Structure 1
Amino acid sequence: MIDFRPLSDDHPDLAQSPLLRAALLTLQYAQEHGTIGLTTAKAFKRVFVHWAVKQFAWPGSSAEEMFRYNKVINEYEFPPLEVLHYLLITLRLGRHFKGDFKLTKRGAELAQAPGKLFAELVPFFVLEIDHASYARFEDRPFGKWDVWMNVINVEADHGTTERALFAVFYGEEHDWDNDGWREMAAFSSCVLRPLEWAGLLMQTHEERGAKHVHHVFKTPLWRSTLMLDTDDMLRPVSDQ
Structure 2
Amino acid sequence: MNNFRKLSDKHPDLIHSPLLRAATLTLRYVEDNGPIGLTKTKAFKRVFVQWAVENFDWPNRSPEDLLRYKKVLNEYDFPPLELLHFLLIHLRLGRHFKGEFHLTKRGAALAKTPGKLFDELIPFYVLQMDHAAYSRFDDRPFGSWDVWLNVINVEADQGSTERDLYAAFYVDGADQGNTGWRQLSAFSACVLRPLEWSGLIMETHEKTADSRNVHHVFKTPLWRSALKLDTDDMLEPVQMH
TM-score above 0.5, yes or no: yes
1:161 Cα deviation from its structure 2 partner:
0.9
Q: Which sections of structure 2, spanning at least 5 residues, go unmatched?
A: none
1:171 Cα deviation from its structure 2 partner:
1.3
Check the 8 A contact 1:11/1:115 in 2, yes or no.
yes
2:138 counterpart residue number: 138
1:226 counterpart residue number: 227
1:98 counterpart residue number: 98
Q: Which sections of structure 1, spanning at least 5 residues, go unmatched?
A: none
1:173 Cα deviation from its structure 2 partner:
3.7
Deviation per CA, 1:184-216, whole angstroms, max 9, x where unpaired? 000011100110000000111112112111111
Q: 1:1-240 alignment to 2 at 5 Å?
A: 2-175=2-175, 177-209=177-209, 210-238=211-239
Task: Find the aligned partners of 1:21 and 1:176 in 2 and give their Cα distance.
Answer: 37
1:176 Cα deviation from its structure 2 partner:
7.5
1:238 Cα deviation from its structure 2 partner:
2.9
Q: Which amino acid aligns with 2:57?
A: A
Task: Find the aligned partners of 1:42 and 1:52 in 2 and give their Cα distance.
Answer: 17
Deviation per CA, 1:59-83, whole angstroms, max 9, x where unpaired? 1111011111111110011100000
Identity %: 68
Q: Which amino acid aligns with 2:72?
A: V
Relative distance call for 1:235 and 1:179 in structure 2 (3 A) is closer
Task: Find the aligned partners of 2:58 and 2:146 in 1 and give their Cα distance.
Answer: 27
Task: Find the aligned partners of 2:177 and 2:234 in 1 and give their Cα distance.
Answer: 34
Number of residue pairs matched?
A: 240
Check the 8 A contact 2:10/2:115 in 1, yes or no.
yes
Relative distance call for 1:25 and 1:176 in structure 2 (3 A) is farther
Task: Find the aligned partners of 1:32 and 1:134 in 2 and give their Cα distance.
Answer: 31
Task: Find the aligned partners of 2:27 and 2:112 in 1 and give their Cα distance.
Answer: 9
Q: Which amino acid aligns with 1:236?
A: P
TM-score by length of 2: 0.96
Check the 8 A contact 2:2/2:123 in 1, yes or no.
no
1:177 Cα deviation from its structure 2 partner:
3.7
TM-score by length of 1: 0.96
1:49 Cα deviation from its structure 2 partner:
0.5
1:179 Cα deviation from its structure 2 partner:
4.7
Taking only aligned residues, the RMSD between alpha carbons, in angstroms, comes to 1.5
1:10 Cα deviation from its structure 2 partner:
1.3
Q: Which amino acid aligns with 1:168?
A: A
Partner-residue secondary structure (3-state), 1:172: coil
Check the 8 A contact 1:175/1:184 in 2, yes or no.
no
